[in-house]
Amino acid sequence: DARVTQTPRHKVTEMGQEVTMRCQPILGHNTVFWYRQTMMQGLELLAYFRNRAPLDDSGMPKDRFSAEMPDATLATLKIQPSEPRDSAVYFCASGSGRGTNYGYTFGSGTRLTVV
């Protein structure tokens, strides 16, 4: 089965440190999303890309978060500097956007803890 791969699965870091999360989307998928899941807010869309171009990053705190797709096989989400309130599970998802099924495939997530 094709899958979206996220690394690392878990990350514990100290406040103020830089955190980089990586995502390998499914080959051939041209749409990539970054989500953050918290208990209070559920799944929040942080950013998404189509054909590697950023389409919407309005959900992302711009001062500390950045998202990029250096190539079609890699998407990155960076937090610098990290804060305790960034502690959450971060999911990457990819999709082809074709056909009537707009379901996306999610990775297993990166659980980030900032202490």
Partner 1 sequence: DQQVKQNSPSLSVQEGRISILNCDYTNSMFDYFLWYKKYPAEGPTFLISISSIKDKNEDGRFTVFLNKSAKHLSLHIVPSQPGDSAVYFCAASARAGNNRKLIWGLGTSLAVNP
Residues that bind partner 1 (CB under 8 A): 4, 33, 41-43, 45, 48, 50, 55-56, 91, 93, 97, 100-109
Which is nearer to partner 1, 61 or 81 (by Cβ)?
Answer: 61
CA 65 distance to own-chain centroid = 11
Distance, CA of 4 to CA of 114 (rounded, Å): 24
Distance, CA of 70 to CA of 100 (rounded, Å): 29
Nearest approach, Cβ of 65 to partner 1 (angstroms)? 17
Nearest approach, Cβ of 48 to partner 1 (angstroms)? 6
Which is nearer to partner 1, 4 or 88 (by Cβ)?
Answer: 4
Tell me how far CA of residue 41 lies from CA of 36, 88, 89, in angstroms. Answer: 9, 11, 12
Which is nearer to partner 1, 65 or 104 (by Cβ)?
Answer: 104
